Amino acid sequence: MALRKAGSVVGLVFMVSIIVMLFLSAQSLYTAYSSYQNGQMDQASYYFLFGAVGLASSIYALTKLRIRVGLTPPKELDVLTEIECGKCDFKNIREFTEGDYMLKTAENCPKCNEPMIMTSIYQKEKEKKGKGLLK
């Protein structure tokens, strides 16, 4: 309990520091802009550097602080059952239902009325996204 309390205090201090840093960075960037308009180039670049570094590091810290636990239940995989007729090559693919298993005799073929067989049960794979630059 004490540990959890200490942890939340540290978290709060972190959050406040990041917000202060964000505020100061914004202030610094604005001062850089004003200095640039007044022709004070040295001061402008000085404040711009501080503002940019501060902004980048506080955004980085904020992304690190985000809740990433993901307490959502694990995603359910779509599983398909492929049923084939050995006689006329009729094929039917449908969602898996409990009781299905590979090589089980299924319902009769709608074309030739012969019993069909569950030839494959497999997980539906997601479509792959286009290759990135580093792939």
Partner 1 sequence: MAQTPFKQIPIGGDSLGFIFNLIYLLLFVIFMLYGQKIQMLNMLREVKGAVDRLKALRDEARKVSISSIKKMGKPENDPTERIDQLLEYFTIMPSGLDPAGIVPKIEHVFDIRHKRFKDEVRMIAPSATDSQVSNLEGVLEVALGLNYIYRILRHFYLLGKKTMSYIIIMQVQMQLPLILREAEAYSAAAKAFAYGQPIGDGAGALVAAKMMHGKKAKKIAEDILATELSIDGRRVFVLKAEGPGANIGKYGDAIKKLVKRCRNKVSMIVMVDAAGKFEGEKTGSTSEGLGAAIGGVGVIQFQIEEEASKHKIPLNAVVIKESIIDSVSPMKKAIIKGADEAIQKVKRLIGEKTKKGDTIIVAGIGNTVGIGQ
Nearer to partner 1, 64 or 87 (CB): 64
From 106, 94, 20, 101, select the one nearest 57 (Cα to Cα). Answer: 20
Give residue 131's identity as a one-letter amino acid code. K
Point out which span in 22-30, 106-114, 126-134 binds partner 1 (CB under 8 A).
22-30
Q: Cβ distance 18 to 58 under 8 Å?
A: yes
- Examine residue 35 and tell whether it contacts partner 1 (CB under 8 A): yes
How many angstroms separate the CA atoms of 130 and 54, rounded? 35
- Contacting residues for 113 by C-beta, under 8 A, at least 6 apart: none
* Binders of partner 1 in range 47-106 (CB under 8 A): 47, 50, 64, 68-74, 76-77, 79, 96, 98-104
Q: Summarize as ranges the residues that interact with partner 1 (CB under 8 A).
A: 3, 10, 24, 27-28, 30-31, 34-35, 38, 40, 46-47, 50, 64, 68-74, 76-77, 79, 96, 98-104, 120-123, 125
